[in-house]
Amino acid sequence: MTNVNPQLITTANELPGYRLAKNLGVVRGIVVRSRSIVGTLGASLQTLFGGNITLYTDLCEQSRQDAFNLMIQHAAERGANGIVAMRYDANELAPGVTEVLAYGTAVVAERTTL
């Protein structure tokens, strides 16, 4: 198992200065989260005052980070050192239950320039 270099993770389809020597296929990280009663009540109070609803922002950020980390783990298990065409997706599975998906193409990238 290799380590995925965070600098070799991109939403682009290529890595400037690198040759994509091997395509290892699609990798993904999936997290399913629900809102807690306390979080829902706190967020409801925040909506009364308007602006950024930090309880939901924090929940979304943590969910995306967890899905991202799982995707990297999946890529490392395949022997990748990079990920191209990385994307996020989210779906509501039930009221208050959301799936967050991070996905991309795992690659072995070789440096072509210094």
* Domain range for 23: 6-34+64-111
Query: Looking at the domain assignment, is residue 49 inside a domain?
Result: no
Secondary structure element (H or E) that encloses residue 70, with its range? helix 54-78
Tokens read off for 45: 């109070």
How far apart (Å, rounded) are the C-alpha atoms in residues 19 and 2? 17
Query: Looking at the domain assignment, is residue 58 inside a domain?
Result: no
Look up residue 101 and give its amino acid.
L
Please give the pLDDT value at position 47: 59
Which residues of the chain fall below pLDDT 50?
none
Query: Looking at the domain assignment, is residue 55 inside a domain?
Result: no
Please give the pLDDT value at position 94: 85
**pLDDT tens readout for residues 79-105:** 999 999 999 999 988 887 889 999 999
22: domain CATH number? 3.30.110.70
Whole-structure pTM over 0.85, yes or no? no
Query: Looking at the domain assignment, is residue 69 inside a domain?
Result: yes
How many distinct structural domains can be found in the chain?
A: 1
